[in-house]
Amino acid sequence: MAILPDWRPAALKLADGRDFHLRHAWCVGRNYAEHAREMGSDPDRSDPVFFSKPAAAIVQADTVEWPPATGDLHHEAELVVFLAAGGRDLAPEQAAESVFGYAAGCDLTRRDVQARAKAAGMPWALSKGFDQSGPVGLIVPGDDWRPGDDTQIRLEVNGEARQSAVLGDMIWPVAELLARLSREVTLHPGDAVFTGTPSGVSGLAPGDRVRTEIAGLPALEFSIARGRN
Ligand code: MN
């Protein structure tokens, strides 16, 4: 008789020690104009680009592996929003009320894999959705922290600044972004949404120490392993 695998999703941690059970991780591309330009596209308020990472790729780890089959692993500092409620066709006000909390995150990207897929007109899912591709920091409830237009988001590698912006630079602010996403899919409690990255994305190397800071949230800090795990 086949034995059912005894599996359940790993919980992410809140800053207060509680567990957050992640259901699904959505991501948005091109949500900061300067980053859209550095990636060769023209920023405007056309519909945001949504994609996913597997929930199992969202990790809180001190070290993440160098992924297979890439020579160009990029960091993308991002605010990550976690949901306590969901629904479809949410108004921005309803979307804002569905937020549970926030964390600093990093959307790790195999940029060479993505570029080849784009050039070939192929899906680039695995340039974004590989193992450990979504490190996030400790989650803080929305009662204790909210994003402001002047809230700083920064990323440094080995102590050197690479990305620096304010959350007010987002083309689609959080509530509008969630509302737009809810027109395409049903949002659920337990979902996370990576809200896009500002300009300054760049290549990492094995052994690098990456630190993402969003003012008022616990910093996300991790190393890139020197060898395969
Ligand atoms: Mn991203």
Position 228 scores a pLDDT of 61
In single-letter form, the type of residue at position 31 comes to N
Query: Residue 2 Cα, ligand 1 centroid: separation in angstroms?
Result: 40
Query: Residue 107 Cα, ligand 1 centroid: separation in angstroms?
Result: 5
Query: Residue 7 Cα, ligand 1 centroid: separation in angstroms?
Result: 28
Series of mean pLDDT values for 10-residue runs along the chain (229 residues): 85 97 96 88 82 97 96 98 98 98 98 97 96 98 98 98 97 97 98 97 98 98 84
Query: Residue 100 Cα, ligand 1 centroid: separation in angstroms?
Result: 21
Query: Residue 202 Cα, ligand 1 centroid: separation in angstroms?
Result: 12
Instruction: Report the C-alpha gap between 128 and 120 in whole angstroms.
Output: 17
Instruction: Answer yes or no: pTM beyond 0.85.
Output: yes
Query: Residue 143 Cα, ligand 1 centroid: separation in angstroms?
Result: 26
Which superfamily is assigned to 13-225 in CATH? Fumarylacetoacetase-like, C-terminal domain (3.90.850.10)
Query: Residue 5 Cα, ligand 1 centroid: separation in angstroms?
Result: 32
Instruction: Report the C-alpha gap between 195 and 107 in whole angstroms.
Output: 10
150, 166 contact by CB (below 8 A) = yes
Residue 166, φ and ψ in degrees, nearest 5: -120, 155
Query: Residue 1 Cα, ligand 1 centroid: separation in angstroms?
Result: 44
Position 211 scores a pLDDT of 98
Chain CA centroid to CA 164, Å: 16
User: Where are the extended beta strands (E) located within 33-113?
Assistant: 49-53, 58-59, 63-64, 73-74, 77-83, 99-106, 109-110
Position 39 scores a pLDDT of 86
Position 173 scores a pLDDT of 96
Query: Residue 133 Cα, ligand 1 centroid: separation in angstroms?
Result: 11
